[in-house]
Structure 1
Amino acid sequence: MIIADIGPYGKALVLDGRIQTTTGDEYLYHEPIIHLPSLLHGGPKKVLILGGADLGAAREALKWKSVEQVVVIDIDGDVVELCAQYLPEIAQDCSDDERCKLIVGDALKYIDETDETYDVIIGDLTDPIENGPSIELFTRSFYEKVKRCLNKSGVYVTQAGTISLREEKVFPRVANTLKTLFKEVVPFSSFIPTYGTPLGFLASSDSKLVTKLTADEINEKLDSDLHNGRETLKFLDGTSFLGLLGLPANVRASIQSESTVYK
């Protein structure tokens, strides 16, 4: 576990030889994973972030005027401390915001035991790798527990691995797993230079997720519902929001034809 300076990408958090995030392009991950589901929800008050040790997702959630509480739960206290000490530009001042609560603990255990419900739940988790240790956080049994913690109109969004030929089956399989539980599953992606390939996300809900909005409608929503409006964002606006939803045809076809469910 190291912090390294990697030139134009700024400082990087490296775990087990793999870059997890950088100060140079983290916003290309954190803005989509928070603002797309929040826009689809319309006005979340309570947000739960599973993972998110660097607090970048929490930073973005706190930009919403409607948000009254953000709970972040990450299992690795060492990473939490390292990010706070060496990557403070990611969290900025969200750790001082009384709406934000950081818990060092097991997200799976928290989901099992909590009686709280949330408007938006974020799976800011390590990549799903088949037969890997984190795959249990991408299974139907885990999603059943997540769904129990969602309010009636709640939205769950998770990063679901890269969209690449090397791992072409994982993203569609996570999507299909979610489709067995939720009425609506919206796939989207964001290209993050650090990873060298688009990263896939999935937003799920039992409420209708309206994605057929114009760029102007999205911009109006961001300007009215965020503290300081679009000025607080580097990447996301109406045009880029619509771009996130534009997955390649072969990826859409893979999701449509996939039958595997992670149980």
Structure 2
Amino acid sequence: MDDARAYIEKINSYFDVIIIDLPEPQEGGPAYLLYTKEFYEKVYNALTPEGIMVTQSASTSLNNIKIFISIVKTLKEVFPYVKPYIANIPSFFAPWGFVLASKKINPGTVILDEKISSIEDKLKFYDLDSHRSMFSLPKYIKKAINEGGVVIRDDSPLSFY
């Protein structure tokens, strides 16, 4: 079995959805080079024309936001549509970042009211209110995304620690 990078390099226009849930980029760790522009370009190529990907993107707490905003900035170098969001993850004791990215679908303009309403009574967390609130980023995060972060590359990866 291949690692994620070797596998994704072999696929072209295949997936409608790619969900990336990796450990944080720790120097020498297994996911260190799976947060780079080069890796995200391979993910882009693996998606169908209307495909969408989502990735966990580390903590969005004020003292630990560099990784999150750099992932957002890196994805904006590859995908035309990038929409960061946050959710409180009780087991992590912190707000956690995620990013949706797509070639063709703007996640910020998709109207999901009817679809979410039809399933929300079956879910413990997710409903229309929680969906809307996840995409309503606090001011410090919006400011950090606009003013900071670096593009993560194979030759200059970013480490969590």
The TM-score bracket by the shorter chain reads 0.7 to 0.9
Contact 1:187 1:200 in 2 (8 A): yes
Instruction: Tell me which of 211, 232, 251 is aligned to 2:122.
Output: 232
| Structure 1 segments unaligned to the other structure (5+ residues) | 1-103
| Structure 2 segments unaligned to the other structure (5+ residues) | 154-161
Contact 2:117 2:127 in 1 (8 A): no
C-alpha separation between the residues in 2 aligned to 1:231 and 1:259?
A: 39
Contact 2:21 2:55 in 1 (8 A): yes
Aligned residues: 152
Instruction: Encode CA deviations 1:128-182: one digit per residue, 9 max, x unaligned.
Output: 34x3522311100100110110011111110010112332211000100000111
Query: 2:33 aligns to what SS in structure 1?
Result: helix
Over the aligned positions, Cα root-mean-square deviation in angstroms equals: 2.0
Large movers: runs of 4+ above 3 Å: none
Query: 2:145 aligns to what SS in structure 1?
Result: helix
Q: CA deviation at 1:218?
A: 3.1
Alignment of 1:1-263 (within 5 A): 105-115=2-12, 117-129=14-26, 131-133=27-29, 134-212=31-109, 218-223=112-117, 229-263=119-153
C-alpha separation between the residues in 2 aligned to 1:128 and 1:139?
A: 10
C-alpha separation between the residues in 1 aligned to 2:62 and 2:25?
A: 15
C-alpha separation between the residues in 2 aligned to 1:183 and 1:140?
A: 14
Give the counterpart letter for 1:154 in structure 2: G
Query: 2:72 aligns to what SS in structure 1?
Result: helix
Contact 1:219 1:230 in 2 (8 A): no
Query: 2:121 aligns to what SS in structure 1?
Result: helix
For the structure 1 residues 148 and 212, does the alpha-carbon distance in structure 2 shift closer, same or farther, using more than 3 Å as the test?
Answer: closer
C-alpha separation between the residues in 2 aligned to 1:246 and 1:109?
A: 35
Tell me the TM-score normalized by structure 2.
Answer: 0.85
- By relative contact order (CA 8 Å, sep 6+), the higher-ranking structure is 2
Identity fraction in percent: 34
Q: CA deviation at 1:257?
A: 1.3
Contact 1:128 1:135 in 2 (8 A): yes
Tell which structure's C-alpha radius of gyration is larger: 1
Contact 1:176 1:255 in 2 (8 A): yes
C-alpha separation between the residues in 2 aligned to 1:156 and 1:218?
A: 17
Tell me the TM-score normalized by structure 1.
Answer: 0.53
